[in-house]
A = this chain, B = another copy of it.
Amino acid sequence: MQNVITYGQAPELEILTWLNTETPLCLSNLRGKVVVIHAFQMLCPACVVHGIPQASAIHELYSHDDVQLIGLHTVFEHHDIMTVEALEVFASEYQLTFPIAVDAPSNTGAIPKTMAAYYMQGTPTLIVIDQQGQIRLNHFGRLSDMQVGNFIGQIICEE
């Protein structure tokens, strides 16, 4: 698989607000689980057609004791259109059930804080963090469902 980079320890998520979860999630409380972050923008076609269905499939396939899927809305353009309120409508219309975090806007630029901390190149990006909190995959673009299943399966089994 191309584009696999080990960045070391995953930086904590910096989040403005959450959808689809009663309590905010934080990586430090998810140790022991594989964490899969699907970074998207609601008006990104490749996210809507490919990434979000793949994220939903991950959320449905795995036991939530083993794998925590998190949608991350990393708005880096058209900030006034892809607002939290717009995202709420989008998540409702598309019937998304996995937890969605809204990446905290930057104080100084267009790239939100978590997106910057992980050096993401755009959307969709798929990030896999292992049970010890290490980044194991940080992939911009499309991976096949078989590639993603294989990658997560290998990480699960390491424990």
Contact = CB atoms under 8 A, between A and B. Distances in A.
Contacts of A90: 43
Interface string A119-159: 00000000000000000000000001111111111111110
Categorize the interface residue count of chain A. 35 or more
Copies of the chain in the assembly: 4
Interface string A41-53: 0011100110000
A51 B107 CA distance: 39
Interface stretch (A17-25, A80-88, A110-118): A80-88
A105 to B, nearest CB: 17
B149 A148 contact: yes
B45 A146 contact: no
Given A43-B93, A49-B49, A58 B158 contact: no
